[in-house]
């Protein structure tokens, strides 16, 4: 391993709380959130509900918990969930949808994270005495494994209409919906208001150390609060953490455009030395997927070779790596990381 890190592009989750967040956490007005309620958590919940165009919200310890509570509220054991095949909740959340909520995933392979809407309608099952009923559709925006790709308001409106006509609820995994809204130049609510539930994360590009908000109707969120207690997610003076979330919503959303510009720069620079490694159409926000097959390395080998030169990233497939930009990677660091990556690609191609 190198002694100096050029850039840590493993994930936007590596971001640390800003000085403003640390100050807000120290000064937060707090209460017992399980008894009379915590005033700062309540402010964060009200703010998130307003931004997403929903009635209410509940502060959860993680995005994973927010998704899980949604599944526990929407699903009865044995009911089906339509979702994109590489959804985060199917790949990285320890199977909670099935193990705890009893859901049966019915997956559709998407293009750029987008399930074809005709397929969604065709897969919806009304349910009979022997066929499980489809209760929920899950969409992910931005789509992590597809490379941070966006679902736009027009797509969401069509999805809501299909779901409504089949009597199915829509849950949005909006861990990075902030990135989608900034990249598309639309209000968050245009991507979320027609969903029956929405999870938004504070701890990715927004840099807060903790938490997500599950948003929905007042009745739904009341039930989710009960489920949060059931899984041990009720936390007493949680306002200290909520205070960081409030700073995140106020100060950290618009700056995501910088992360997007840095990701674009990385992608275009790599594309310039070797066009087959990066699909520029998929680089819409802060994630760049690099295919390593064309240069004869596995994703893991390429990631190791980059780490030796101080550029940290994850292999997210047998022949691919993922680069994620965030607040703790400056434009200058992105430029130097690009030099390292381009240099390695060139040496492998010529050597």
Please calculate the CA angle 77-159-137 and round it to the nearest 5 degrees: 15
The distance of closest approach from Cβ of residue 62 to ligand PLP in the complex, given in angstroms and rounded to an integer, is 3
Which residue of 73, 172, 175, 267 would you call a contact of ligand PLP, by CB under 6 A? 175
3-state percent breakdown (helix, strand, coil) of the chain, nearest 5: 45, 15, 35
Task: Outline where DSSP puts E strands in 38-132.
Answer: 56-60, 80-84, 104-108
Residue in 238, 331, 174 with CA at minimum distance from that of residue 43: 238
| Identity of the residue, 80 or 86, whose beta carbon is nearer to ligand PLP in the bound complex | 86
Tokens 């969409």, located at residue: 139
Residue, CB closest to ligand PLP: 63
The distance of closest approach from Cβ of residue 175 to ligand PLP in the complex, given in angstroms and rounded to an integer, is 3
In the region spanning residues 210 to 249, those forming contacts with ligand PLP, defined by CB under 6 A, are 212
Q: Which helix (H) or strand (E) holds 162?
A: helix 153-166
Residue in 187, 94, 90 with CA at minimum distance from that of residue 140: 90
In the region spanning residues 104 to 163, those forming contacts with ligand PLP, defined by CB under 6 A, are 140, 144
Give how far Cα 56 sits from Cα of 42, 53, 193, 217, Å.
10, 9, 12, 6
| Identity of the residue, 80 or 173, whose beta carbon is nearer to ligand PLP in the bound complex | 173
Contact stretch for ligand PLP (CB under 6 A) within 62-70, 102-110, 150-158, 258-266: 62-70
Which residue of 196, 203, 262, 292 would you call a contact of ligand PLP, by CB under 6 A? 203
The distance of closest approach from Cβ of residue 26 to ligand PLP in the complex, given in angstroms and rounded to an integer, is 23
The distance of closest approach from Cβ of residue 140 to ligand PLP in the complex, given in angstroms and rounded to an integer, is 5
| Identity of the residue, 233 or 239, whose beta carbon is nearer to ligand PLP in the bound complex | 233
Contact stretch for ligand PLP (CB under 6 A) within 56-64, 149-157, 249-257, 259-267: 56-64
| Identity of the residue, 63 or 239, whose beta carbon is nearer to ligand PLP in the bound complex | 63
Which residue of 7, 41, 81, 88 would you call a contact of ligand PLP, by CB under 6 A? 88
Residue in 137, 144, 210 with CA at minimum distance from that of residue 177: 144
Residue 173 lies near ligand PLP (rule: CB under 6 A): yes
| CA 346/CA 344 separation, integer angstroms | 5
Say whether 122 sits in a helix, a strand or coil: helix
The distance of closest approach from Cβ of residue 347 to ligand PLP in the complex, given in angstroms and rounded to an integer, is 32
Residue in 260, 261, 314, 307 with CA at minimum distance from that of residue 286: 260
Give how far Cα 320 sits from Cα of 145, 291, 295, 315, 329, Å.
11, 4, 11, 6, 21
In the sheet that 104-108 helps form, which strands lie side by side, from edge to edge?
56-60, 212-216, 197-201, 169-174, 134-140, 80-84, 104-108
| Identity of the residue, 54 or 142, whose beta carbon is nearer to ligand PLP in the bound complex | 142
Which residue of 6, 7, 63, 96 would you call a contact of ligand PLP, by CB under 6 A? 63
Residue 15 lies near ligand PLP (rule: CB under 6 A): no
Contact stretch for ligand PLP (CB under 6 A) within 59-67, 159-167, 225-233, 324-332: 59-67
Residue 201 lies near ligand PLP (rule: CB under 6 A): yes
| Identity of the residue, 90 or 345, whose beta carbon is nearer to ligand PLP in the bound complex | 90
| Identity of the residue, 140 or 258, whose beta carbon is nearer to ligand PLP in the bound complex | 140
Please calculate the CA angle 29-14-247 and round it to the nearest 5 degrees: 30
Cβ-Cβ contacts under 8 Å for 130 (sequence gap 6 or more):
none
- Which parts of this chain interact with ligand PLP (CB under 6 A)? 62-64, 88, 140, 144, 173, 175, 201, 203, 212
């Amino acid at each position: 391993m190198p002694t100096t890190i050029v850039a840590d592009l493993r994930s936007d989750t590596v971001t640390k709380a800003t000085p403003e967040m640390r100050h807000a956490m120290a000064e937060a007005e707090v209460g017992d959130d399980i008894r009379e309620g915590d005033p700062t958590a309540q402010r964060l919940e009200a703010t998130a509900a307003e931004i997403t165009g929903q009635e209410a919200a509940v502060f959860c310890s993680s995005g994973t918990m927010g998704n899980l509570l949604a599944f526990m509220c929407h699903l009865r054991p044995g009911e089906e969930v339509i979702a994109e095949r590489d959804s985060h909740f199917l790949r990285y959340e320890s199977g909670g949808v099935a193990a705890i909520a009893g859901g049966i995933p019915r997956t559709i392979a998407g293009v750029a994270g987008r399930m074809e809407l005709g397929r969604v309608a065709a897969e919806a099952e009304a349910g009979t005495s022997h066929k499980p009923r489809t209760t929920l559709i899950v969409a992910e925006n931005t789509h992590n494994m597809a490379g941070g790709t966006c679902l736009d308001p027009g797509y969401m409106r069509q999805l809501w209409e299909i779901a409504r006509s089949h009597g199915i609820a829509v849950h949005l995994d909006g861990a990075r919906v902030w990135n989608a809204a900034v990249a598309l130049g639309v209000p968050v609510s245009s991507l979320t208001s027609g969903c029956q539930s929405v999870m938004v994360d504070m701890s990715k590009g927004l840099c807060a150390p903790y938490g997500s908000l599950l948003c929905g109707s007042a009745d739904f969120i009341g039930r989710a609060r009960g489920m949060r207690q059931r899984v041990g997610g009720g936390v007493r003076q949680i306002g200290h953490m909520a205070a960081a979330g409030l700073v995140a919503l106020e100060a950290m959303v618009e700056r995501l455009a910088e992360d997007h510009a840095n990701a674009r720069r990385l992608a275009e620079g790599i594309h310039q030395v070797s066009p087959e490694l990066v699909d520029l159409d998929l680089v819409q926000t802060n994630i760049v997927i690099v295919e390593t097959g064309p240069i004869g390395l596995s994703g893991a080998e390429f990631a190791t070779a980059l780490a030796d030169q101080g550029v940290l990233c994850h292999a997210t497939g047998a022949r691919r790596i993922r680069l994620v930009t965030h607040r703790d990677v400056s434009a200058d660091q992105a430029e130097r990381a690009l030099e390292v990556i381009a240099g390695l690609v060139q040496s492998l191609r010529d050597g």
